[in-house]
Structure 1
Amino acid sequence: TQFQNVGNVMPCPWGWKQCGESGAPVSDLFPHTREFVDEMAIIRSMTSESSEHTSANYFLHTGFTRQGRPGMGSWVTYGLGSESENLPGFVVLDGGLIPPGGMDIFNSGFLPAAYQATLFRSGEHAMADLERREPTEALQLKKMDLLRNLNQESQERFGEDDQIEAAIANYELAFKMQSAVPELTDLSGETDATRKLYGLDEDITSTFGRQCLLARKLVEKGVRFVECLAPKVEGVKDRWDQHNNLEKEHALNAQATDKPIAGLLADLKSRGLLEETLVIWGGEFGRTPMAQGANGRDHNPYGFTMWMAGGGVKGGTVYGATDDYGYFVVDKKVEIYDLHATMLHLLGMDHKRLTYLFSGRNMRLTDVHGRVVEDILA
C-alpha cells in the first residue's frame, strides 16, 4: 500500500463542529454520535504495525500480525468468565461481511476452545442449526446424555482434553441456546421508541441498528464481550476501505452507523449500563491525507483515531495528536498493545498478570509490551 499515491493532499469533504462541554471537534459525518462526545475519550494518536488489512486486523484483535493467537474477546472471557448461563461469553454480531482475516481473528488460539467467539448472523435467524432435529425434547435429552457419557468415558480412558471438555460444554450450552437465542433476537416486541432510536425501520440503518440493539440485549443478559462488525452497506464497495469514491461511500457508511451508535450509547446510559460497559469504536488503521488516484485514500497505520466510552473512561477527553496533515503521530503515541492494556485495566484486569501457560511460557495478550493510558481513566 501507499505506492499509488499521487502526492496531492486531499482536503476533507466535510465540516467539523466543536461538540459538548469539552468542545471536542467531530465531523459532520456523525451528527448523532457527536452528541455523546462528553462520554468519550478520543484517542487521536493510534498506530499499528501493519498497513495490510488481514495482518492489521490480526494485530488489532490478537496483538500479533499472524494467525494462531487468541483474540481480545477470548482473553477477556478467559479472565472474567461469563455471567450468562444460557448464552456464550463472547459473541460476534455479523453485519453481512466477513472481516479481513476471516473468523480466525475470533479464535481462542492456545486458550481452551470454550473461549472462542460465537457468531450471530444478521437477520432474524441469528444462528444456523439452532432448531431441534429430534421429534421430541425427551429424545434430544437422551441423546445428550449418551454423548455426555461417551465423552466422559473417553476422558477417563485417555485423559482430560480441552477439546472434549469444550465439546461437552458446547452441547449443554447449545441446548440452552435453543430457547434463549430466539427469544433474545426476536425484536418484534420492541417499542416504537426503541425502533426509532436504533433506526430499525430505516433501510440504511436497519442492519447495524439491529446489531447495536442486540449488543445491548446481550450485555443485559450477562454476555461478557460483544463485537459488532462493520455492516454491508448498499452502494459501498467494501466497508470503510475507500481507495476510490471516498466522499460518497464514507458518507453512506457513516449514515448506516451513526444513528445506531448514538442509539446504543443513549440506551446504555438510560438503563444505567454505560458506566459498567466499555464501548470501543475503531478499525485496524486509518487513511492517508494524500489522495490515491483522484478521489480516495490509502491505508495509514502511522496515525489514526479510536474512541472509548463508558466503563471508567474519562469522558470529554482528547488524547494525542497527529501532524497537521493527519499522517504521523507527533504527540502521545498509543500502540495497539497500549489499547489492549488499557481495555483490560478498565475491565478490572492487569495485562501483565492475565497469562496462560503455553509452550513453557506465560503468554499475554500484550506479549511483553503495553502500558495503561492513565490520562483517559476517570
Structure 2
Amino acid sequence: MITPHSHFPLGRSRRTFLADLGQGFTGLALGAMLARDGIVRANDAPLWQPPTGQPHFTPKAKSVVWLFMNGGMSHLESFDPKPEVTKYADKSISETPYADTQNPERLKRREVAFNVELRQKLYPLQVGFRKYGQSGIELSDWVPHMGSCIDDIAVVRSMWTTDDNHGAQTQFHSGRHMLDGEFPTLGAWVHYGLGSINDDLPQFISMGNREYWNAKDGHYLGPAHDAVPIRVDPGNPLDYAKPASGLDVDEQQLSFELAGRLNRLKGVEYPNDPALTARIKAYELAFRMQTSIPEVLKFDTETQATQELYGLNEPDTRDFGSQMLATRRLIERGVRFIQVQHGAGGAGAWDAHGNLKAMHTQTFKQVDKPVAGLLKDLKQRGLLDSTIVIFATEFGRTPASQGADGRDHHPYGFSVWMAGGGIKGGIVHGATDEIGFHAVEHRHYVTDIHATILKQMGLDSRELEIPGRKRLDIDHGNPINEIIA
C-alpha cells in the first residue's frame, strides 16, 4: 500500500504525483509506464500486476543448470539400455515376440506413426551396459562418470514430443512445436518470474552455439528475457563488451551515465518499447559485467584437483569441462539459469543417422566426465541441494537401423535425467516398451520437465501469464511429483 506524503495531496505518493505531472504526451507516457510496472493505479481500476521478483511459494531450488545435447542422443545407448534390441538384432519386428496380435494398435503405432515398417531390422546396441551405484540402475558403458553419480540422479525414461525433426530443440525449450510460432523458453520464464541474486551478473546465461530455430528465449516476454551468451574466454567473453580504446575507467563511467540518462528520457517517450527497455537494462549491466564476467572465467584460482575433476587436462574434455567449471563458478555467484548447448552446428553432433558408435563414443567422451565433475563439485560445496541440473536432448533414436550403422530421429520415447534442487536421487521413473520404441509407463510430454523445474523454483506458471497470451494446459505441463523429494 502506498503511504501518503505530507507534501502531496492526501493519499498520493511522490511517484503518483510525478506520474501525473505534465499536460503533454510525456506526462501521460510516464504515468502509463509507472502503471505498467505496477507502481501506480489509475482511479484504483483493476490492473494486471507483473511479477514481483519473488517466488509464489517456498522454493526448494534457486538455480538451474540446463544441459542440452543437440541432435538427438540415443536413449538405447545411454540411460535406457534394451538388451532385447540386441537379442533380436537383424530381425524385423514381425519376427520378434513383440509383433503379437494381442496389441495391434500398439504395433500399428510402431509401424505407421514413425514409418517403421515390418521389413526394417532392429539394430543391436553399440555399447555394453552395467549397474551403477547403490541403486543398481543400468546405464551404458559410455557414461561411467555420470554413472558414478547415479545415486544423486533421477532418470526419466518416458519422455515424448511431437516434432520429428530438429525443431524439437525449440519444442523442448519452449514446449511448442516450432510451426506454432515463437514462444518463450523455460529459461525466459524463470528469468521473468524471479528477481536478481547478483546485480553484477546476468541472471540468464547461455553457453555453446545455438541454431537459428533455437536462438532466442524471450519472444513475446521481450528481449530483456533472452539469455546473455558468453564464451569461456577471459579475454573476450562477450560480444561488444570491451571498452573503447583510449578510455580510462572514469571516462567510461561518465559515458555510461550519460547514455543511461538519454535512454531513460527516450524511455519516457516510448514506455512500451520492449527493445528499449531491454537495451537500458543491458547497458547498465554491461558496464558491471566487464569486470565480473572475466573474473568468473579465470580458473587460475582453482586447484589442480578441481581442474582435473572437470577434465581440463585432457583434450577431449577441455572445452566442455571449461564450460562446466564456469557454470559452477557462475552458480556460486548467484546466477539463476545457465543453459549449455553441446554439439550444435547443423543438425547437431548427436545426430547419428550413420556411424552411431563412433559418433556417440566421441560425444559422450566429451561430456561424461565434465558433467559428473559438475555434479560432484556442486555437491561437495553444498550447492547441489539448491541447484537443479538437467541433462536433456530433443528426442531419442530408433531401435531399428537406418542405413548400415545408424539410428533415425525418435520422438515417441526417450530419456532425460535431473539431479539436485529437491529431486530424488537413485531412481528411475517411467519406462519405454521392451525394444525402447514407445514410452508406455508414466508418459511425460516435455513441459512436464518445465513444470517440475518451476515447482522447485517456487513458481506457478499460471501466475506468470500475461494479458492476451493465454496458454494451453499442455504448455504448463504437470510436475513429475514421483521424482520430487
TM-aligned CA deviation for residue 372 of structure 1? 1.2
What residue number does 1:337 align with?
447
TM-aligned CA deviation for residue 155 of structure 1? 2.6
Deviation per CA, 1:196-215: give whole Å up to 9, x if none.
00001211000110111111
* Correspondent of 1:194 among 290, 301, 306: 306
Deviation per CA, 1:339-376: give whole Å up to 9, x if none.
1111111111123333222xx24448x65551111111
1:132 aligns with 2:243: yes
TM-aligned CA deviation for residue 13 of structure 1? 1.6
Q: CA 1:367 to 1:162, structure 2 compared with 1: closer, same or farther past 3 Å?
A: farther
Gaps of 5+ in 2: 1-112
2:426 maps to a residue whose letter is: G
1:161 maps to a residue whose letter is: D
TM-aligned CA deviation for residue 152 of structure 1? 1.9
1:374 aligns with 2:481: yes
Question: In the aligned structure 2, how far is the partner of 1:352 from the partner of 1:24?
Answer: 36
* Correspondent of 1:27 among 112, 124, 140: 140
SS of the residue aligned with 1:18?
A: strand
Question: In the aligned structure 2, how far is the partner of 1:147 from the partner of 1:266?
Answer: 44
Which structure is higher in strand share?
1
| 8 Å Cα contact 2:127/2:142 also seen in 1 | yes
Question: In the aligned structure 2, how far is the partner of 1:34 from the partner of 1:264?
Answer: 13
What residue number does 2:325 align with?
213
1:115 aligns with 2:228: no
Note the 1:236-251 alignment, pairs <5 A.
238-251=348-361
Question: In the aligned structure 1, how far is the partner of 2:396 from the partner of 2:337?
Answer: 24
1:77 aligns with 2:191: yes
Question: In the aligned structure 2, how far is the partner of 1:114 from the partner of 1:159?
Answer: 14
TM-aligned CA deviation for residue 246 of structure 1? 0.4
TM-aligned CA deviation for residue 129 of structure 1? 2.1
1:157 maps to a residue whose letter is: E
| 8 Å Cα contact 2:399/2:437 also seen in 1 | yes
SS of the residue aligned with 1:26?
A: strand
1:130 maps to a residue whose letter is: A
Question: In the aligned structure 2, how far is the partner of 1:286 from the partner of 1:368?
Answer: 21
Q: CA RMSD in A?
A: 2.2
Deviation per CA, 1:2-24: give whole Å up to 9, x if none.
66987110111211111122111
TM-score by length of 2: 0.72
| 8 Å Cα contact 2:205/2:337 also seen in 1 | yes
| 8 Å Cα contact 2:132/2:139 also seen in 1 | yes
Question: In the aligned structure 1, how far is the partner of 2:469 from the partner of 2:239?
Answer: 38
Question: In the aligned structure 1, how far is the partner of 2:249 from the partner of 2:318?
Answer: 35
1:101 maps to a residue whose letter is: W
Gaps of 5+ in 1: none
* Correspondent of 1:315 among 410, 413, 425: 425
TM-aligned CA deviation for residue 132 of structure 1? 0.6
| 8 Å Cα contact 2:205/2:338 also seen in 1 | yes
- Residue identity over aligned pairs, in percent, reads 38
TM-aligned CA deviation for residue 164 of structure 1? 1.9
How many residues were matched structurally?
Answer: 368
1:351 maps to a residue whose letter is: S
1:48 aligns with 2:155: no
TM-aligned CA deviation for residue 145 of structure 1? 2.1
TM-score by length of 1: 0.92
Q: CA 1:299 to 1:120, structure 2 compared with 1: closer, same or farther past 3 Å?
A: same
TM-aligned CA deviation for residue 100 of structure 1? 6.2
What residue number does 1:88 align with?
202
SS of the residue aligned with 2:210?
A: coil
| 8 Å Cα contact 1:279/1:310 also seen in 2 | yes
Q: CA 1:163 to 1:286, structure 2 compared with 1: closer, same or farther past 3 Å?
A: same
Question: In the aligned structure 2, how far is the partner of 1:265 from the partner of 1:159?
Answer: 43
Deviation per CA, 1:52-110: give whole Å up to 9, x if none.
102x111101111124211111101111222111111100111xx43462413xx2011
Question: In the aligned structure 2, how far is the partner of 1:127 from the partner of 1:4?
Answer: 46
Q: CA 1:202 to 1:368, structure 2 compared with 1: closer, same or farther past 3 Å?
A: closer
* Correspondent of 1:38 among 134, 137, 151: 151
SS of the residue aligned with 1:307?
A: strand
Q: CA 1:269 to 1:345, structure 2 compared with 1: closer, same or farther past 3 Å?
A: same
What residue number does 2:79 align with?
none
Question: In the aligned structure 2, how far is the partner of 1:113 from the partner of 1:368?
Answer: 21
SS of the residue aligned with 1:41?
A: strand
Question: In the aligned structure 1, how far is the partner of 2:360 from the partner of 2:212?
Answer: 19
Q: CA 1:179 to 1:172, structure 2 compared with 1: closer, same or farther past 3 Å?
A: same
TM-aligned CA deviation for residue 161 of structure 1? 3.0
User: Which stretches of structure 1, 4 residues or more, deviate above 4 A after TM superposition?
Assistant: 1-6, 366-369
